[in-house]
């Protein structure tokens, strides 16, 4: 190796390469001036392309909501609104009754979260640590539901909601139609159980020796150490309801009970394009906020649990 | 620990050496304790088990029953195989399968290959990875109605952004969603934009697990970038690639929301009618729950094969 290549390499190691694992392209290759040029060109192109492809549509959405009714359907389209019309957002909020839709969606999402946290955490705790008889069979039956394509079950589930057996109740247009089925999330139970399995037995035995009941152990020992997985499961639960379309469309036909997705869809053809786009922007804000606030948890949860199941 | 032989322990009546009555007492106590323990454990399970019973297990059984029943004038009778013969004779059935397979093929071509390429490129970057990951995953977090209606706006042949982009590059304008030839491709493009973030991040995590020595060894053998990808990157991520492939097949064969919102489900001349949309039509437009369930059963049987392979693969990855 000549001194020529040695110097830039040392410099690079001192700046960016500290403790970075080796990947496809060798560090030596990137260290050469030609390698670095190529690297920066590719990098700049990718950043530009990604920004255009992923932020571009969002930019178009936000500015589309600011254009006039004529400008938004003008050909060729304009990159910048010629005049700003923030009142479109106000109109979208009023005409499509977004406050109502937003409230409904939040109500369903956080209700579903509460039910999932209570029932699924309790079930996973029982299956992992209390290990009742038939526990394995119950877990097997729960995991089996992951093998059944969700869309296949929509029809019989819908018929069940129309007339729940034994209790003989019609849950149509009721939030229970969202909340109770959301508990049957075998994937969340699986994630929770796998996390609880990793909690050392001795910790629970110590609590038991101190006379703690199963409930007390769950509250004071298991839940505090399970915060990361509870965060992941909670985000999945809320986002799941927020993004769902077919199920709320079927079970909540009453316009005053609808979710954002369904409500905007059913009103879409009746409003001018610019107002519709403003409504889409407003509907996107809450999940984008959740994402920006919790992106670390979301991404780690995705890669931790994304594959197993 | 002292380990008495079998005969010895039989000879000594009990470990504690207490008289027989106390022994049954402690046995009963032991039994009661186990009953209490089981009761409390099942108490923790009951909420989830009830929800599963009503909204998952019972509908699963009902799916099978419905597929062999018919409902005429409010009376439910057994229909034998007639629901199945009905759907097999419905021309929409074959069209829906053709469309679904086309969607799956196109979605895999885009949604399986593109995220892997993106992940391989991103993994090389020493800067800005956080920003780029954030961008890729951003659409996943949008409510589907927002992304889909936005794409519908872009696809408009008159004032849409996409025809404008084609124009800038000197390409002919397209009818996108309104043309039988391009309708499904347009749906796939929108669906890929919306969903590929998850796969990309999972591939990135997998790429970070590849030991760097393997690349070094390949370089000593004189391998270039493409050969390193072929001989190191792909073999090392083979398991995750196959799991994701199966998962995407299972997911894309159930596509509903995107075509439903983009082309009202059917599309021009039924060119975007998917299997799940046909299930929806049978059930909720024609009130024909029997045929809907029968078609669901066909889909279920087909996807169960993929699910079974998936479960086997993911089990083998845990060993």
Which has the closest alpha carbon to A265: B59, B236, B149? B149
Residues in CB range of A81: below 8 A, 6 or more apart: A63, A66, A67, A68, A71
A242 interaction partners in chain B (CB closer than 8 Å): 143
Residue B35: exposure state from Cβ atoms within 10 A (0-12, 13-18, ≥19): exposed
B132 interaction partners in chain A (CB closer than 8 Å): 46-47, 50
**Bridge-partner residues for A164, per DSSP?**
A169
- A296 contact B CB<8A: no
Where is average pLDDT lowest: A240-249, B21-30, B77-86, B256-265? B21-30
Pairing of strands B69-72, B75-78: antiparallel
Best mutation target among B33, B35, B46, B56 (most A Cβ atoms within 10 Å) is B56
A119 interaction partners in chain B (CB closer than 8 Å): 47-48, 51
pLDDT at B19: 52
* Residue range B177-202, pLDDT digits in tens: 888 888 889 999 999 999 888 889 88
The three-state secondary structure class of B238 is helix
pLDDT at A28: 78
The three-state secondary structure class of B69 is strand
B216 band by pLDDT with thresholds 50, 70 and 90? confident
Judged against a pLDDT cut of 90, whether residue A100 lies above it is answered with yes
B240, closest residue in chain A (CA to CA)? A307
| ipTM confidence score | 0.83
Interface subset of A 29-68, CB within 8 angstroms of B: 39, 42-43, 46-47, 50-51, 53-55, 57-58, 60-61, 64
- Per this entry, what is the length of chain B? 319
pLDDT at A8: 45
pLDDT at A72: 84
pLDDT at A283: 92
Which has the closest alpha carbon to A244: A181, A170, A300? A181
B181: closest CA of chain A, how far (Å): 24
* Residue range B119-128, pLDDT digits in tens: 999 998 888 8
A250 interaction partners in chain B (CB closer than 8 Å): 284
Best mutation target among A19, A24, A101 (most B Cβ atoms within 10 Å) is A24
* Calpha distance B159→B301 (Å, rounded): 44
Torsion over CA of B167, B172, B178 and B184, rounded to 10 degrees?
Answer: -100
Across chain B, mean pLDDT equals 86
Judged against a pLDDT cut of 60, whether residue A15 lies above it is answered with no
pLDDT at B7: 41
Judged against a pLDDT cut of 50, whether residue B57 lies above it is answered with yes
A92: closest CA of chain B, how far (Å): 14
Which has the closest alpha carbon to A155: B279, B159, B93, B9? B279
B159 band by pLDDT with thresholds 50, 70 and 90? confident
Which has the closest alpha carbon to A226: A235, A218, A236, A216? A218
The three-state secondary structure class of B254 is coil
> What homologous superfamily is domain A93-305 in, according to CATH?
MetI-like (1.10.3720.10)
Contact A245 B145 (CB under 8 A): yes
* Calpha distance A30→A15 (Å, rounded): 13
Where is average pLDDT lowest: A123-127, A179-183, B75-79, B82-86? B75-79
Contact B244 A307 (CB under 8 A): yes
Mean pLDDT value across residues B63-81: 83
B158, closest residue in chain A (CA to CA)? A75
pLDDT at B5: 41
Which has the closest alpha carbon to A291: B138, B147, B201? B138
Size of interface A-B (CB pairs under 8 A): 292
Judged against a pLDDT cut of 50, whether residue B4 lies above it is answered with no
Residues in CB range of B68: below 8 A, 6 or more apart: B78, B79, B80, B81, B83, B290, B294
Judged against a pLDDT cut of 70, whether residue A2 lies above it is answered with no
* Calpha distance B39→A132 (Å, rounded): 8
pLDDT at B281: 92
pLDDT at B20: 53
Domain positions in chain B are 19-67, 86-318
- A302 contact B CB<8A: yes
Interface subset of A 201-240, CB within 8 angstroms of B: 213-214, 218, 239
Judged against a pLDDT cut of 90, whether residue A127 lies above it is answered with yes
Tell the residue number behind the tokens 């001989």, with chain if given: B231
B156 interaction partners in chain A (CB closer than 8 Å): 73
Check: CB of residue B197 under 8 Å from CB of residue B137: yes
**Bridge-partner residues for B72, per DSSP?**
B75
DSSP string, B273-315: --HHHHHHIIIIIS--HHHHHHHHHHHHHHHHHHHHHHHHHHH
Judged against a pLDDT cut of 80, whether residue B40 lies above it is answered with yes
A147, closest residue in chain B (CA to CA)? B307
Interface subset of A 252-291, CB within 8 angstroms of B: 260-262, 264-265, 268, 273, 276-277, 280-281, 283-284, 287-288, 290-291
* Residue range A184-202, pLDDT digits in tens: 999 899 989 989 998 888 8
DSSP-based helix, strand, coil % in chain B, nearest 5 = 75, 5, 20
Mean pLDDT value across residues A20-36: 80
A287: closest CA of chain B, how far (Å): 6
Domain B86-318 in CATH 1.10.3720.10: yes
* Residue range B252-273, pLDDT digits in tens: 999 999 999 988 878 788 888 9
The three-state secondary structure class of B70 is strand
pLDDT at B2: 41
Contact A57 B150 (CB under 8 A): yes
A120 interaction partners in chain B (CB closer than 8 Å): 48
A136: closest CA of chain B, how far (Å): 12
Query: pTM (2 decimals)?
Result: 0.84
Contact A154 B304 (CB under 8 A): no
Judged against a pLDDT cut of 50, whether residue A146 lies above it is answered with yes
pLDDT at A208: 84
- A307 contact B CB<8A: yes
- Per this entry, what is the length of chain A? 309
Check: CB of residue A132 under 8 Å from CB of residue A126: yes
Of A250 and A228, the structure prediction assigns the larger pLDDT to: A250
A14 band by pLDDT with thresholds 50, 70 and 90? very low
A243, closest residue in chain B (CA to CA)? B143
B37: closest CA of chain A, how far (Å): 8
A17, closest residue in chain B (CA to CA)? B126
Mean pLDDT value across residues A230-245: 88
Exposure of B287 in the CB half-sphere (CA atoms within 13 A): 5
Check: CB of residue B263 under 8 Å from CB of residue B190: no
* Calpha distance A14→B255 (Å, rounded): 49
Positive/negative CA dihedral, A102, A107, A112, A118: positive
Across chain A, mean pLDDT equals 86
pLDDT at A54: 93
* Chain Cα centroid distance, residue B244: 9
B250, closest residue in chain A (CA to CA)? A149
Best mutation target among B35, B37, B41, B139 (most A Cβ atoms within 10 Å) is B41
DSSP-based helix, strand, coil % in chain A, nearest 5 = 75, 0, 25
Residue A220 is encoded by which pair of tokens? 């004071």
Judged against a pLDDT cut of 60, whether residue B160 lies above it is answered with yes
B219, closest residue in chain A (CA to CA)? A26
A307 band by pLDDT with thresholds 50, 70 and 90? very low
Domain positions in chain A are 3-13+23-91, 93-305
Considering only CB atoms, A122 lies closest to which of B44, B131, B137, namely B44
Best mutation target among B46, B50, B74, B141 (most A Cβ atoms within 10 Å) is B141
Mean pLDDT value across residues B53-72: 91
Check: CB of residue A274 under 8 Å from CB of residue A72: yes
- A138 contact B CB<8A: yes
Contact B193 A43 (CB under 8 A): no
């Amino acid at each position: 190796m000549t001194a020529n290549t040695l110097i830039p390499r040392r410099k690079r190691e001192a700046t960016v390469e500290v403790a970075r694992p080796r990947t496809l392209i060798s560090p030596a290759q990137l260290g050469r001036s030609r390698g670095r040029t190529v690297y920066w060109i590719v990098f700049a192109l990718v950043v530009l392309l990604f920004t255009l492809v992923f932020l571009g549509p969002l930019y178009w959405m936000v500015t589309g909501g600011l254009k006039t009714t004529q400008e938004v359907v003008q050909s060729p389209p304009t990159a910048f609104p010629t005049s700003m019309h923030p009142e479109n957002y106000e109109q979208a909020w009023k005409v499509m009754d977004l406050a109502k839709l937003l409230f409904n969606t939040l109500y369903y999402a956080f209700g579903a979260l509460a039910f999932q946290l209570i029932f699924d955490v309790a079930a996973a705790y029982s299956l992992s640590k209390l290990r009742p008889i038939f526990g394995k069979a119950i877990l097997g039956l729960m995991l089996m539901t992951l093998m059944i394509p969700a869309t296949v079950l929509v029809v019989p589930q819908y018929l069940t909601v129309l007339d729940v057996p034994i209790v003989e109740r019609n849950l149509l247009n009721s939030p229970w139609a969202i909340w109770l089925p959301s508990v049957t999330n075998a994937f969340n139970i699986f994630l929770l159980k796998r996390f609880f399995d990793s909690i050392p037995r001795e910790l629970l035995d110590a609590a038991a020796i101190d006379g703690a009941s199963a409930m007390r152990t769950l509250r004071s020992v298991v839940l505090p150490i399970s915060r990361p997985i509870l965060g992941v499961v909670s985000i999945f639960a809320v986002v799941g309801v927020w993004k769902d379309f077919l199920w709320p469309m079927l079970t909540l036909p009453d316009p005053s009970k609808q979710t954002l997705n369904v409500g905007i869809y059913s009103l879409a053809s009746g409003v001018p394009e610019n107002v519709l786009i403003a409504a889409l922007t407003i509907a996107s804000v809450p999940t984008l906020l959740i994402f920006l606030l919790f992106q670390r948890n979301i991404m780690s949860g995705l890669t931790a649990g994304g594959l197993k199941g | 620990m002292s380990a008495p032989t079998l005969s010895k322990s039989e000879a000594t009546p009990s470990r504690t050496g207490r008289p027989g009555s106390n022994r049954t007492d402690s046995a009963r106590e032991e039994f009661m304790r186990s009953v209490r323990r089981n009761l409390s454990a099942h108490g923790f399970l009951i909420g989830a088990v009830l929800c599963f019973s009503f909204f998952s297990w019972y509908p699963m059984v009902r799916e099978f029953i419905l597929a062999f029943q018919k409902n005429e004038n409010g009376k439910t009778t057994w229909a034998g195989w007639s629901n199945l013969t009905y759907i097999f004779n419905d021309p929409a059935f074959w069209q829906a399968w053709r469309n679904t397979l086309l969607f799956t093929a196109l979605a895999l071509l885009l949604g399986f290959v593109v995220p892997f390429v993106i992940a391989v490129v991103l993994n090389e970057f020493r800067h800005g990875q956080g920003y780029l990951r954030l961008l890729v995953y951003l659409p996943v977090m949008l409510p589907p109605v927002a992304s889909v209606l936005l794409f519908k706006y872009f696809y408009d042949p008159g004032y849409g952004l996409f025809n404008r982009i084609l124009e800038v590059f000197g390409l002919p304008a397209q009818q996108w969603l309104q043309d039988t030839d391009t309708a499904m491709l347009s749906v796939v493009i929108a669906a890929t934009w919306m969903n590929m973030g998850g796969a990309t991040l999972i591939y990135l995590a997998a790429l970070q697990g590849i030991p760097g020595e393997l690349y070094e060894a390949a370089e000593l053998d004189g391998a270039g970038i493409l050969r390193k990808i072929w001989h190191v990157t792909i073999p090392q991520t083979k398991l995750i690639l196959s799991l994701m492939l199966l998962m995407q097949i299972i997911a894309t064969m159930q596509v509903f929301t995107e075509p439903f919102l983009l082309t009202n489900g059917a599309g021009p001349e039924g060119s975007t009618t998917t299997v799940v949309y046909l299930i929806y039509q049978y059930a909720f437009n024609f009130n024909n729950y029997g045929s809907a369930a029968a078609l669901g059963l066909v889909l279920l049987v087909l996807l169960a094969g993929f699910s079974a392979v998936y479960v086997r693969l993911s089990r083998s990855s845990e060993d």
